Each structure stands twice: as C-alpha cells, then as structure tokens.
Structure 1
Amino acid sequence: MHSGLDLRGTTRRHPVTAAACAVAGAVIAVAVAAVVVFQPFHRAPPDDCSAGELTVAGGTDVSLNSQRRSLIEDWNGGDRGARPKARLTEVSPLSDQQHSQLKAVEESGSCAYDVLILDGPWTAGFAAGGFLRPLDDIGSRPPDTKGFFPKGLAMGSYDHRQYALPFNLDVGLLYFRDKAKRPATPDAWPDDRYTAQLGDYEGLTVNALEAVWNHGGAGLLTGTAGTGRAELRDRVQPALEEVAKRMTRSGSPLLTSFQLGYQEQETIEAFARGGDDLAMRLWPYAYRNLANEPGLRDGGRLRFTVAAPPGDTVLGGQTLAISRHSRHAADALALIEYLTGDEAQKRLYSCGGFVPARASVFGLPPEPPRGAAATGIRTCSQLLKDDPRTRNDPDNPAGEPDAMTPERLTTLADAIVSALAGARPRPVTEHYDTFSTTFRGCARKIFSGEAVDAGRFAAAVEASLGGRAATC
C-alpha cells in the first residue's frame, strides 16, 4: 500500500459511468481539505406534478463539494423572479441503472421529472423514443447556443434538432510518471506500461473505441457515420487484436488492468502506487485527485504530468434535456440556461472538477485555434470569494484543495483543449446500450486471447448498432 492519503477515499467513479461507492444510501468522499457528503440516491418521484417545483433527475452528484447540488441551491436562493425552485433527485449511481430508471419513468408517461441529466450517448435514444422536448419548441425563442464547444453542443442534437444543452464535457487524457515513455504517434499507446479502464463496463467500450481509432480504424464507429461489415472485419477487429498483442507480458500494468477489471478508482490507485515509468489513460478529473496525493508530490513539484493523447480520444460528457411530460417546460429551460451559463460552468470546473461545456471558462473562443492557451482561470476560493451568494457557503468552507493553483488549473485546461481537437463521439444511435454491451463483450474475448471469427465479430457489432442483441 502506498503512503499518504488513501486514494479509496478520494477517488470517484466518473460521470461517464457515474458509478460511485454507495454506503447505507450515502457516499462520503474525502479530498484533503474538502469533505463531500452525497445525499441518498433514488429519491421517489413527486406524486403531484403540478406542485411549484422543478425536479432535476440524474445520477449521484459526484462533483467535488457537490457543486451540482450547490448550483441548484443557488438557483433557489438567487434572483429567479417568479420561477419555481428546483431540487436534484439522484437515481442509481450505476450508469446502466440510471439509464433504465430514467427511461422507465419517461416510458410510463409520468411528469415526475422536468430536467434529465443524460450521458451524451443516451440523448439520441431518448429523443428518438419521444421522451424529450426539442428546445426550440419551448417559449418564444430558441436557447442561446453561442459560446459552447461545438462538439459538446452536438451531443445534444438529434435529427437536426437541439434536444439538450451540454452540462459538462469529458475527454481522455494521458498521465505520465516522471520516467514514463511519451507516445510519439497515435498507435504508440497503450503499450504494456499503461494502466487503463478495462473492466467489463462502459470504460472498456471507451478504451476499445480509442484503440480502434488509433490503430487503423480512424473514422469508424463514431458519430452518425455508418460502419459496414467489411470495415468491421478488416479494420476494427484487427485494431483490437493489435492492442491485445500488448497484453501478453505477465504482470504488465496493461494486462493487470484487464485481468483485474480496473475501473476508474482502481486505475488511479495503480498509477499512484506504481513505478516511475508508469503511464495512465483517464479523464481530466483524475488530475485533481493525483495532485492531492502526497506520494506524487515532491515539495511544490508534482511527480507526474498530463497531456492530450496523440490521435483520437472519446468525447464524453453529460447533457441537460427537458422531459416531454414536464408541466414546467419554460421554467425548466430557464434552469438549464442558468446551469450552463458562464458563471455556473466556471464553478463546475474550478470547484467541481468537471470539464466545462463553454470555451469562455478557459478564456477561449468556441473553436480555439491549434495551440491556443487557456487564460484567466480562477481557483474555487477566488470564485467563491467574489460571489456574494457563495462567499459563506457551508458546503465549501475551505474552497478547493490547495494543490489546485491557477497554474495547475491552466495546465489541465490546456491539455483538455488540445485533446478536444481529437475528441470523437461514440456511435450516435438510439440503440447505444445494445451496441456498447455487444462491442465490449467482443473486445473482452479478443483481449483475453480467444480466437474470434472475423465474420461473426462483424455480424454481431453490425446487429447491435441496429438494436439487435448479439455475441461473438
């Protein structure tokens, strides 16, 4: 066991999988000077939908200092005029259960939920199912979409209409210990000195897609572009087999990640206690966790660096959509615009650890030129000090951990912006869950060294994109 802070208390399952450790219906995460207490999840939907209150439904608030909940409380206590108050209802912390529970409520026709927090890949399915209101169908004007990163805005679009606004984004980043080898080309990672998320969950889907894109399958299984059987057979499967070859050395971090089924928390722990030549693929939130680990700090210097991967990475994040059955659609849209506004997005980044959906948080235009550097980023303490509504916020008594200086927040922002240039969406399909389950099941067989028939692989993945369950 490594010395210093126990990372099992500081790490969290990421929003992409939204899996957080749950104990007796509540989660307590300790991050140096900040203590985060999560409210019990899966609060029952309200019985009376005509009550003057907006309900925001999503997974457990895993942001540092519960910033999502804090922002909704600010809405309740702020200058919202005659608009109703809002509350955050947390369903399951597990991604697949979140999807099932939110979908079940919408399929029932219930008006219990007004605003839905959706993982980016789910938006198409919920829109296709008739569960969401197009945003331009509410009120007298469409929402202002200027200032968002275009790729984030695209997550909320389906069939040429905007059904949601991006709440936060995500991109894969590479982390390196002091003596780790940096990949010079897209196909140079991961090598066997990487630790990654290779457990049987959405993290494996993400890592497998990145492997495909960077090992000969660029442009396949992404967005709305179709991928036929020939491409699946001749480019996708060989890309996965190429990565599988790097999992053959007994005891290598990459093989261990697969054999032990690492998710986000286990990946961070392995990186923190591993050797100085170790590398890691993970989301941006890990930077803050690692910066607060004493074993990874040498005085004022961090014993690791972060950078955008060469080549392509998965675009992640969550969107805010309005339920088709909401009786408060106009007020729900106003709440979404508040939660995606500049000030709220600044707090989600500096205080909550989320990648903002707005480029302005980094002092940049929506489509930053290559090599653009972030500017003007303030720490959580600075933001809270300047805001009279949160100056004495009991949920944030110490501000952000002292390791997150303006310089480190800027370093992380620069890596994020660079990675966004190569970020690709997962397949946009109303059957995404079926695809993800099938694709990662096939990837698991390939990574385990099993012989997988190329024709059967291609047929299974093609069928899953059309909503038909299949196996390799």
Structure 2
Amino acid sequence: MRWMRAAGRGILVAAVLLAGNSGSGVEAEHSAPRGRGPMTLVTAGDLTGYLSPLLADWNSEHPRERVTLVELPDSADETRAQMISELRSGSDRFDVLNIDVAWTSEFAAAGWIAPLARDRFPLDSFLRPVVETATFDGRLYAVPYVTNAGLLYYRKDVLDAEGENPPSTWAELARQARTAPRHDLDGYAGQFLPYEGLAVNIAEAVYSAGGSILRNDGDRVTVDSAAARDAFTFLADGVREGWISGEALRYKEEESRLAFQDGRLLFLRNWPYVYTEANARGSSVSGKFGVAPLPGIDGPGSSVLGGSNLAVNRNSRHPASAADLIVYLTSERVQRQVLTEGSLPPVRAALYEDPELIRALPYLPTLRQSVLSAVPRPKSPRYDQVSLAVQAVAQDVMALRQTPAEAVERLARELAAISRRG
C-alpha cells in the first residue's frame, strides 16, 4: 500500500483484543466498562519490517496485552474493503484502525469509529496540519500516526549543467522539463495511472493553483473555478507538448520511483520514501539529485497531506487499552523509530528540527515545509466516490479526450450528484 507510506509504507490497522477497565480515551457516550488482554495488530504490509521491534518493546512492557501482527494485502483498495467488511458487520475484531487520512471522514460519518477525547493525546506536539485530517464535523475521530507530503525530486547534476535552480513555478518546471531530451531524459512524471494516486496529483494541482474541490466536509462543491481549469491545463499541456511522456500515464508510485532511480527522469513528484531508495547502493542517481517543494502556478505550491491516522472501532470491547496503544505509537520515542526504521514521516514536530536526524536525513526541513503548507484531500463521507470521479475526469483530460474547461464542468456535476446522495 505504497501510497500510504506517505501512505506510505506500513499503513497500520491495529486490532486490539483486550479484557478489563480504565479511562478509555474514547468519548463517554461510546464507552462502557472494558478489560485488557492480547491484541492483534493488522497491517496492510509492513514493507520495511520496522513494526516487529516496536511490537516487541510493547510486548515486553505489557506481557498481558501482547500484540500479534497480522498483515493484509499490500493494496489500498483491498485493505479498505476488508476493513469495511468487518466494520459493517458490527465485528469487534479490529479495535484500533490505522486508516488513510482520507478515510477518516467516511468512517466517522458511517458510525464505524468512535469520537476520541482530545486531552488524552499529545495533539499540541504534532505538526499543526495533521490534526485536521483526524477530525470530522468538529470532533476528533482519530489520532495522527504518520504524515506525508509530496515532494519534487530533480536531477541536480542536470540542472547544474544547465545553470538552473530547481523550479518553484509551473512555468519554470515546464521550461526546464522541455530540456530533458538533451540529456536523454523524460521531463516530468507523477502518479498518473487512474487510481488514488491520480486523485492526489490532481488535488495537488488544484490546490497549487489556489483552488479547492470540496468544502464543508463534502457538502459544498467548489471545483468549478479558474484554478481547477488552470490545473487541468497545466497537466494536459505537459502531455500535448511531450514533457509528460505517454509512459508516465501508466505510473503509480513505484513505477515512477524506478523511472527516476534508473536515471530516466528529470523531475518526479513522489513521497518522501523515494529519498532513501534513490540514494541506496545501485541507484543510478545516488548523490545526483535534490528535493524541493512542489511548484505552483505563481510560486511554491501545495501538497496533498498524506499519511495515516489511528482510530478506535465503535464496537471495540477494549477502548481503554486501544487508547493506550495509540498513545504508545504516537510517543516521541516510537515516532523517532517510525522515521529512522520505517522511513515514514512522523507527526511529532520536534523531530523535524533535531540536528542529528537532519544530518542523517537532509530532506527533513524541506519535508517539514511541505507538510506545513499541505492541504488534506477533500473531506467527504463518500470519499471513495469522490476519488473515482476525479480519477475518471483526469484520465480523460490527460488522454486529451476532453478539454480542461469541459472536464471541470463535468467534475462539478458529478461531485454535486455525489454530495446529494444519502
């Protein structure tokens, strides 16, 4: 589930199966006397293996609440489907769910996750924007666990040879990307295959042009704007002019990472995990690339805020222990391990200013800047339908089957129809 590394790696769903009682951290209207006991931690693929040491530490400190790791398929759609199947049935199998930030509104509106008591969790220690991803209808329904923001990777050696600085505007990006063939490179790629990654790339383009897609938790459609038309035009022009290749229209996270890492791309929009991979032994671009914030229409743009949040199943029999596990996973010590061992951006603000971590991971200040200026994906109780509509329209625009103006009008109509559904 690579988009949740972001999304990034190791999206986590914790299933806590406990027995006992204490202050739960879940709002009282959804609590009842509960006990403590063994736990099952369900993940959509711990691709870096960082979870086992964390769980070993927890197990040594909580021998009566041992955690067993269970992994779901490494697919966002499959993971979401399995989680929803359990939740709809009223199952208490999953007590704590580490859900993609875009699912928080959907799960909260459906009544599958319980509101949480804000004072139980160290929210003031988190990067400011990440807390918004965990709220719906003015209430806290989850606790941020990892965050993510899109970054612009660029071939520093090539830009140096051209006497260029990394682009901060779309016009600069397009101009520099057109020079890529002189260096036997493709110009620019993101994640343009029709899946959740395309919806993220489109949202970032709209945000970076000063627009929005939905407001008021999905009740108001705002995509019919000059900003959205500019966003679609920017991407369509890239395809038409060739600095976005036809091959890039088939890229997801990993395909685009490999294209950059193998030395085939000048510019890449992707998540922070690429930094470590592209600098690894055997990479064709190790030591030859840099990282910058995403460009926008008139200056630095806005990323979509990625990551995952920890939520408690409304039918959990063990909300007190579930809350304890969330506190543990969001502690500063564990968050440091999430970054250093899991290559996942933490939610604790202080870690981004730690000199030792910055020496080891020089992109941290740029990532912090990107996170602080990032915007959540459109909030909607029907986010899955919103995402599919955005993907379908974007695919037609980038295949040059529909003009940007036509696409924006169509998307506005489809989103309005979605918002009217019960």
Report the TM-score when normalising by structure 1: 0.73
Is the 1:248–1:255 contact (alpha carbons within 8 Å) kept by the matching residues of 2?
Answer: no
Verify: 1:53 aligned to 2:38, yes or no. Answer: yes
SS of corresponding position for 1:103: helix
- Shift of residue 188 of structure 1? 4.2
Alignment partner for residue 160 of structure 1, among 108, 130, 138?
Answer: 138
Alignment partner for residue 257 of structure 1, among 236, 248, 268?
Answer: 248
Distance 1:295 1:339, change over 3 A: closer
Alignment partner for residue 85 of structure 2, among 77, 101, 104?
Answer: 104
- Shift of residue 327 of structure 1? 1.1
Counterpart of 1:318?
308
Whole-angstrom CA distance in 1 between matches of 2:217 and 2:125: 26
Counterpart of 1:179?
158
Whole-angstrom CA distance in 1 between matches of 2:282 and 2:410: 49
Verify: 1:341 aligned to 2:341, yes or no. Answer: no
SS of corresponding position for 1:121: helix
Is the 1:174–1:279 contact (alpha carbons within 8 Å) kept by the matching residues of 2?
Answer: yes
Whole-angstrom CA distance in 1 between matches of 2:5 and 2:416: 24
Amino acid in the other structure paired with 1:274: G
* 1:323-378 CA distance string (max 9 Å, x none): 1111111011001100000000001111110000101222xxxxxxxxxxx33334
Is the 2:262–2:285 contact (alpha carbons within 8 Å) kept by the matching residues of 1?
Answer: no
Counterpart of 2:182?
none
Alignment partner for residue 274 of structure 2, among 250, 271, 286?
Answer: 286
SS of corresponding position for 1:248: helix
Distance 1:421 1:43, change over 3 A: closer
Counterpart of 1:13?
2
Distance 1:51 1:108, change over 3 A: farther
Counterpart of 2:24?
none
Gaps of 5+ in 1: 1-11, 21-37, 363-373, 379-405
Amino acid in the other structure paired with 1:264: E
SS of corresponding position for 1:111: coil
Alignment partner for residue 321 of structure 2, among 302, 313, 331?
Answer: 331
Amino acid in the other structure paired with 1:291: N
Verify: 1:355 aligned to 2:345, yes or no. Answer: yes
Amino acid in the other structure paired with 1:106: L
- Shift of residue 238 of structure 1? 4.3
SS of corresponding position for 2:39: strand
Whole-angstrom CA distance in 2 between matches of 1:59 and 1:414: 29
Whole-angstrom CA distance in 2 between matches of 1:312 and 1:171: 9
Deviation larger for 179-188 or 283-292: 179-188
- Shift of residue 83 of structure 1? 5.6
CA RMSD of the aligned region, Å? 3.1
Distance 1:45 1:146, change over 3 A: closer
* 1:290-318 CA distance string (max 9 Å, x none): 110434467xxx11111222211110000
Distance 1:345 1:247, change over 3 A: same
Counterpart of 2:356?
377
SS of corresponding position for 2:41: strand
SS of corresponding position for 1:146: helix
Distance 1:431 1:69, change over 3 A: farther
- Shift of residue 70 of structure 1? 2.4
Verify: 1:407 aligned to 2:359, yes or no. Answer: yes
Is the 2:335–2:348 contact (alpha carbons within 8 Å) kept by the matching residues of 1?
Answer: yes
Distance 1:407 1:19, change over 3 A: closer
Query: Kindly, what percent of the aligned residue pairs are identical?
Result: 29
Distance 1:205 1:231, change over 3 A: closer
Whole-angstrom CA distance in 2 between matches of 1:43 and 1:414: 30
Whole-angstrom CA distance in 1 between matches of 2:381 and 2:132: 15
Distance 1:227 1:245, change over 3 A: farther
Distance 1:348 1:42, change over 3 A: closer
Matches within 5 A, 1:211-226: 211-214=205-208, 216=209, 218-221=210-213, 224=216
- Shift of residue 18 of structure 1? 6.1
- Shift of residue 106 of structure 1? 0.9
Counterpart of 2:234?
242
Distance 1:283 1:87, change over 3 A: same
- Shift of residue 435 of structure 1? 0.2
Whole-angstrom CA distance in 1 between matches of 2:223 and 2:171: 18
Distance 1:44 1:183, change over 3 A: closer
Gaps of 5+ in 2: 20-33, 179-186, 295-299
Counterpart of 2:292?
307
Whole-angstrom CA distance in 2 between matches of 1:19 and 1:341: 19
Verify: 1:268 aligned to 2:253, yes or no. Answer: no
Is the 1:17–1:94 contact (alpha carbons within 8 Å) kept by the matching residues of 2?
Answer: no
* 1:71-118 CA distance string (max 9 Å, x none): 12210112x4x7622223322221112111111101111111111010
Is the 1:125–1:432 contact (alpha carbons within 8 Å) kept by the matching residues of 2?
Answer: yes
Distance 1:91 1:459, change over 3 A: same
Amino acid in the other structure paired with 1:111: D
Is the 1:59–1:91 contact (alpha carbons within 8 Å) kept by the matching residues of 2?
Answer: yes
Whole-angstrom CA distance in 2 between matches of 1:297 and 1:242: 27
Whole-angstrom CA distance in 2 between matches of 1:45 and 1:83: 12
